[in-house]
């Protein structure tokens, strides 16, 4: 039986407790008399049918939380009540479920014809299939504009002539409201954007758009972004004229039980006026509901709201539910064939948990990668936690489960690095707040100790490599190691620039899902894995 260190178990339990607390906020009455009622989502990641009790993607939306059908029904209901609704999505609609892996962006283009958004912006995952695919998606007919004031493609980029306006103006409740879009501007490093993809400075972009809107008499301005909560807050303090920032990217839950802040977070612009910052976690689980009241000069005077979890009993839009049922049929073959099984219990798992600590699905994939790499002299494997999009739950594992957990199609490659480069990579993985996040590294054949209280760049206290006999010895900075990594990291994804300098080791470069499928088929049922690969002091 796996026996992780007691401290690791405590962290797992704390994370599980926090996750269980977040959905339990009491439902509030929406202020339908507000001057402006902003309904918003972000990072929906193709969870079109919602999520199940374990946080995994549903395939039938009838008994699940969230889902596009409930979001659309809630927006339509608020509008039917006469509320002054502005419905926004803050990006990352692409990627994350078997629905997307099989049907790609044309599915989202069709479904989005039925969701009454007023506007959205572009997240980093909208670039996962490349600029040409995104350009085709932007050409598809839809009900709402996709805003990206900062997107400035250069000659040769397929997006050069795409329709991504900087802002739109809507008349809501008798007042003009300006909506500015700010796309994720790190997609060359985070996704598969072409080299000609370029962006203007965030602050300068917003200031210019605000100036244009104010020149047209617009006094109420909303910014929809995909840059993450910390950067949204910084932006709110840097620019005058913006009243509300609706954000995404960090999958942040705001409200009762959150360590990231209340709903909304209240910042103040350089002139001292309030700026409300909101976001609504991920995966269609929540619908943000922000009610705003303004004075005659367009200055916020009061506000209320919450990120509301959409429950199974909430109304669904019948047309969208019917479309989801049709798309679910396309997944049948992927969900029918059993590859392996397991009965392992190892604390929280899945997309969110794997960004907090070592997690079972990350461990399994790292072990599969190392099993493949051993034939070519590899000593250990590294996997970015953001590559894990769902959990491999206890029970039977089918091809659909594998594609849901690892949908990106990254190749498994083998490189030679110095110990110094590996140490730098480990430090980069824990450089963010709390030493957590999508770039945090899951490992096999290597373990490391982290102290999040230290300054970034000095958080890895110890790193050890396991030999063929299962014994550990310190990672030596001057020694060369053969390492298995996803091609995403070897190409500098998540800004792992140090991993772009590895020496290529001749080997096949299979897709990660195929490596995992082979490993699982050869290990049925899965044995209990070794834990304690990432330990927090």
| pLDDT above 90 (res 386) | yes
β-bridge partners, 180: 167, 223
Task: Return phi, psi of residue 386, to 5°.
Answer: -65, -15
Residue-level pLDDT at 25: 42
Residue-level pLDDT at 13: 37
Average pLDDT, the chain: 93
Residue-level pLDDT at 54: 81
Contacts of 292 (CB under 8 A, 6+ apart): 34, 35, 36, 37, 38, 243, 244, 276, 300, 303
Of 53 and 68, which is predicted with more confidence? 68
pTM (whole model) above 0.85: yes
Residue-level pLDDT at 337: 86
H or E stretch including 363?
helix 360-373
Place 189 in a pLDDT band, splitting at 50, 70 and 90.
Answer: confident
List pLDDT tens digits, range 510-523.
Answer: 999 999 999 999 99
| pLDDT above 50 (res 252) | yes
| pLDDT above 60 (res 14) | no
Helix 131-139 vs helix 98-111: angle between axes, to the nearest 10 degrees?
40
| pLDDT above 70 (res 1) | no
Residue-level pLDDT at 151: 98
Place 143 in a pLDDT band, splitting at 50, 70 and 90.
Answer: confident
Does residue 380 sit in helix, strand or coil?
Answer: strand
| pLDDT above 50 (res 535) | yes
DSSP 408-474: S-PBEEEEEEEHHHHHHHHHHHT-SGGG-STTPEEEESEEEEE-TTSPTTS-EEEEEEE-TTS-EEE
Mean pLDDT of 249-261: 96
| pLDDT above 90 (res 339) | yes
Mean pLDDT is lowest, of 12-26, 29-43, 76-90, for 12-26
Helix/strand/coil percent split, the chain, to 5:
30, 25, 45
The fraction of the chain above a pLDDT of 70, given in percent, is 95
H or E stretch including 294?
strand 286-294
Q: What domains lie within the chain, and their CATH numbers?
A: 30-329 (3.60.21.10), 337-536 (3.90.780.10)
Mean pLDDT is lowest, of 116-125, 141-150, 247-256, 320-329, for 141-150
Residue-level pLDDT at 196: 97
């Amino acid at each position: 039986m796996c026996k992780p260190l007691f401290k690791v178990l405590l962290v797992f339990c704390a994370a599980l407790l926090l996750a269980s607390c977040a959905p339990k906020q009491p439902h509030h009455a929406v202020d339908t008399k507000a001057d402006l009622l902003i309904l918003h989502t972000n990072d929906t990641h193709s969870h079109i049918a919602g999520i199940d009790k374990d946080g995994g993607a549903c395939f039938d939306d009838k008994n699940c939380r969230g889902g596009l059908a409930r979001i659309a029904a809630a927006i339509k209901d608020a509008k039917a009540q006469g509320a002054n609704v502005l419905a926004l999505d803050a990006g990352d609609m692409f990627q994350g479920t078997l629905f997307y892996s099989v049907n790609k962006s044309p599915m989202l283009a069709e479904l989005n014809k039925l969701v009454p958004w007023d506007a959205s912006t572009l997240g980093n995952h909208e670039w996962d299939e490349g600029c040409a695919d995104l350009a085709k998606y932007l050409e598809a007919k839809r009900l709402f504009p996709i805003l990206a004031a900062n997107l400035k493609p250069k000659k040769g980029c397929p997006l050069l002539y795409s329709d991504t306006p900087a802002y739109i103006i809507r008349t809501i409740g008798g007042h003009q409201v300006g909506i500015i879009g700010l796309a994720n501007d790190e997609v060359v490093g985070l996704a598969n954007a072409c080299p000609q993809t370029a962006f203007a400075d965030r602050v300068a972009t917003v200031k210019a758009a605000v100036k244009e809107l104010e020149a047209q008499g617009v006094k109420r301005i909303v910014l929809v972004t995909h840059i993450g909560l910390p950067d949204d807050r910084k932006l709110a303090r840097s620019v005058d004229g913006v009243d509300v920032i609706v954000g995404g990217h960090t999958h942040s839950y705001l409200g009762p039980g959150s360590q990231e802040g209340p709903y909304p977070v209240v910042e103040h612009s350089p002139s001292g006026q309030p700026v409300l910052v909101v976001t609504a976690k991920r995966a269609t689980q929540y619908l943000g509901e922000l009610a705003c009241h303004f004075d005659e000069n367009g200055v916020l005077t009061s506000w209320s709201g919450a990120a509301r979890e959409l429950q199974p009993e909430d109304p669904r839009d019948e047309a969208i539910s019917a479309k989801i049922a049709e798309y679910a049929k396309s997944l049948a073959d992927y969900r029918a064939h059993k590859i392996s099984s397991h009965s392992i219990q190892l604390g929280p798992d899945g997309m969110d948990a794997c960004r907090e600590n070592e997690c079972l699905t990350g461990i399994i994939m790292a072990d599969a990668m190392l099993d493949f790499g051993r034939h070519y002299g590899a000593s250990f494997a590294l996997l970015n936690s953001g590559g894990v999009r769902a959990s491999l739950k206890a029970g039977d594992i089918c091809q659909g489960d594998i594609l849901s957990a690892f949908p990106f199609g990254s190749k498994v490659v083998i490189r030679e690095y110095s110990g110094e480069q590996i140490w730098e990579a480990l430090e980069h993985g824990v450089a963010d707040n709390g030493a957590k996040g999508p770039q945090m590294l899951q490992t096999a054949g290597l373990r490391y100790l982290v102290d999040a209280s230290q300054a970034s760049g000095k958080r890895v206290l110890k790193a050890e490599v396991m030999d063929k006999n299962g014994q550990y010895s310190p990672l030596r900075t001057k020694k060369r190691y053969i390492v298995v990594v996803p091609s995403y990291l070897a190409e500098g994804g998540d800004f792992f620039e140090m991993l772009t300098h590895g020496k290529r080791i001749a080997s096949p470069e299979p897709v990660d899902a195929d490596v995992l499928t082979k490993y699982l088929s050869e290990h049925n049922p899965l044995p209990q894995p070794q834990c304690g690969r990432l330990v927090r002091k």
